[in-house]
Amino acid sequence: MRTSFLRSFVPLVLIMGWELFSRSGWIPPSLLPAPSQVLRTLADWIFAIDGSTLSYSGAWLGSAAASLARVACGYALAVVAGIGLGVAIGWWRWVEQAIEPTLQLLRPIPPVSWIPLAIIWFGIANKPAIFLVFLGAFFPILLNTIHGVKATDRQLIRAAAMMGATQRQMLRFIVLPASLPSIFAGLRIAIGSAWMLTVTAEMVAVKSGLGYSLWDSYYFLRYDLVIAAMISIGVLGYLSDLAMKLLMNRVLHWQHRGAMKR
């Protein structure tokens, strides 16, 4: 009860302060819509209750589905490439020497700087957005996977080698299970990056999705719809991270049992 109160106290105070400030008249309501106005706009965007959002009335589900599909595609590609390459770099020294310098050269380049090339290569469609999501999610997964593989207890690996285990068996039964906590940390960081890059890509590279709705509303001075889009992105990003956290707790249940015993 006390924990629930503490978690909701700060958001409630901020919302109440925002409502009072918006209604004070210091700033025109069109520039800073009150939370109550934003909620009405969001309700019409989702359920088409009064048509106040015009062409966006009742169109929220389609926009959210378009953004979710881009996040899912780009994130899935990043998971496969990041974990596969991360395990190879962390386990085989020659792979690390051959590939890591190139990756470290590419890593500091901000994903948004790839937007012009992505549009030239893939055009105005889903592909440039998926490519940018992949770039945003790939490096957190890769680096955490490499760290997890390299941090595996060497005593366990030596013991398995002495018992005649092959490299494939050591990877499957020792290295990968030991790396999972670090890999899941990278997956949770990457899902946040994926949402950020999706919204950025939708502003310039596609004509659908929550990011496009946000940017289009800005041109028509519908700041209530802009804030409603921001809230939608935040909620979907939070739910994505929550799903990843639940999956992590389920997969790493042995880790939690060990912690409770201590």
CB 118 within 8 A of CB 110: no
pLDDT at 257: 60
pLDDT digits (tens, 9 = 90+) for 198-231: 888 888 778 889 999 999 999 888 999 999 999 9
Instruction: Give the separation between CA 215 and CA 203, rounded to whole angstroms.
Output: 6
DSSP-derived 3-state class of residue 48:
coil
| One-letter identity of residue 16 | M
pLDDT digits (tens, 9 = 90+) for 149-205: 999 988 888 888 888 888 889 999 999 999 999 999 999 999 999 998 888 888 877
pLDDT digits (tens, 9 = 90+) for 43-80: 999 999 988 888 899 999 999 999 999 999 999 999 99
Q: In sequence order, what are the residues at sequence separation of 6 or more whose Cβ sits closer than 8 angstroms to the Cβ of residue 150?
A: 90
**Whole-number mean pLDDT of the chain?**
89
* Terminal alpha carbon distance of the chain: 27
Is the confidence at residue 262, as pLDDT, over 70?
Answer: no
pLDDT at 142: 95
Taking alpha carbons only, the member of 82, 65, 80, 108 closest to residue 198 is 65
pLDDT band at 2 (very low <50, low <70, confident <90, very high): low
Taking alpha carbons only, the member of 232, 201, 204 closest to residue 59 is 232
Is the confidence at residue 92, as pLDDT, over 50?
Answer: yes
Taking alpha carbons only, the member of 185, 176, 141, 142 closest to residue 156 is 176
Domains and CATH numbers, the chain: 49-255 (1.10.3720.10)
| One-letter identity of residue 126 | N
Say which residue, 133 or 25, is predicted with more confidence.
133
Range 103-109 average pLDDT: 90
